[in-house]
Amino acid sequence: AVLMVGSLFASGASESGAAAEKERKLVIYSALNEDETKLVTDLFEQKTGIKTSAICLGGGEILSRIRAEKGNPVASIYWGGSCDAFIQAANEGLLLQYESPQLADIDFYDKNHYWTCIYSGYVSFVSNNERLAELGIPAPTSWYDLLDPRLEGEIMMPSPATAGTGYVAVASILQNLGLEEGWDYITKLDKNMFQYTERGSACIPSVIAGEVAVGICYAHDQIKNQKAGYQDLLTVTLPKEGTGAEIGAMAIIAAGPDQEEAKEFYEFALTPEAQEIRQQAGALQFLSNKNSKAPAEAQALVGVCPVKYDPVWAGENKKDIVAKWQQITGR
């Protein structure tokens, strides 16, 4: 499979004539990490012979592309990222209704069959232990710990306007703290924010470098980095009041150029084999196929704190929530 990050065109001329007409191909917009994407698309290409090209972008960037290309879609699969963006896309007529025959084995999916869950993961905090020691504070275990004045300029998280991770974090706050208290909290939290990043896990390198003390994103991305030699430097914690969960989704793009190949990939991506292979690249999410074996690191998080998150509410209210967040933060 060909992996293209942020660019649609690879070098080299395409084949012409009958050979080109017979070639089966598929273009995927992927919000998954590049190494995870390549593992799955390579395996899919080996099994099917379908020439697969994946363009890795942030969830918000993918939705913007699909909107811009509505009259002439380039890709046929929208793969990965929080389902709130998929709900928006479905409401805008950008997705194909498709009911997989595997749904009996899948733990969550859209009742109208515009998208299906492929994984899930919790919103949590990742802290640099050395930086926290310098500030004289422990790792946060509450949303309200992040309002400590000593953390002014010491927190990073993804922007809800550009990254699905950031939006799930904001929607998690609103759902777990309540709307009125949640918006008041977000206003106060902004005063301690150093930066809002464009991509979901982009805050983690800054936490590792000690540029900031705390990052807010998904636990599975944080633990992946923690296991890469930073066990003593990084601490991963969840807020005791409750957190939210990304419902990572997949859909077929309406009027995409290779619909049959898209359906083949859709079915493949729901299988235990395709879901579990991503662990080889350090993917530590819960998996949506009930026959898949989730990573032990994900299972260890179960029961640590309450998990309250309604993805349908989050998707239906995303436009208004992002607009209010931008008004409050000026970002």
Confidence (pTM): 0.84
User: What values do phi and psi take at 23, rounded to 5?
Assistant: -65, 130
Distance linking the first and last C-alpha atoms of the chain? 37
pLDDT band for position 311 (50/70/90)?
A: very high
Kindly report the average pLDDT of the chain as a whole number: 92
Mean pLDDT of 65-81: 96
Structure tokens, 186: 């977000």
User: 116-128 and 234-237 as β-strands: parallel, antiparallel, unpaired?
Assistant: antiparallel
* Cα–Cα distance for residue pair 312/317, rounded to 1 Å: 9
Q: Give the bridge partners for 156, in sequence order.
A: 195, 215
- Read off the pLDDT of residues 171-194 as tens digits, 9 standing for 90 and up: 999 999 999 999 999 999 999 999
Per-residue pLDDT band for 201 (boundaries 50, 70, 90) equals confident
Find the length of the chain.
Answer: 331
The H-or-E segment that residue 179 falls in is helix 179-190
Q: Are 40 and 274 in contact (CB under 8 A)?
A: yes
CA distance linking residue 196 with residue 202, whole number of Å? 9
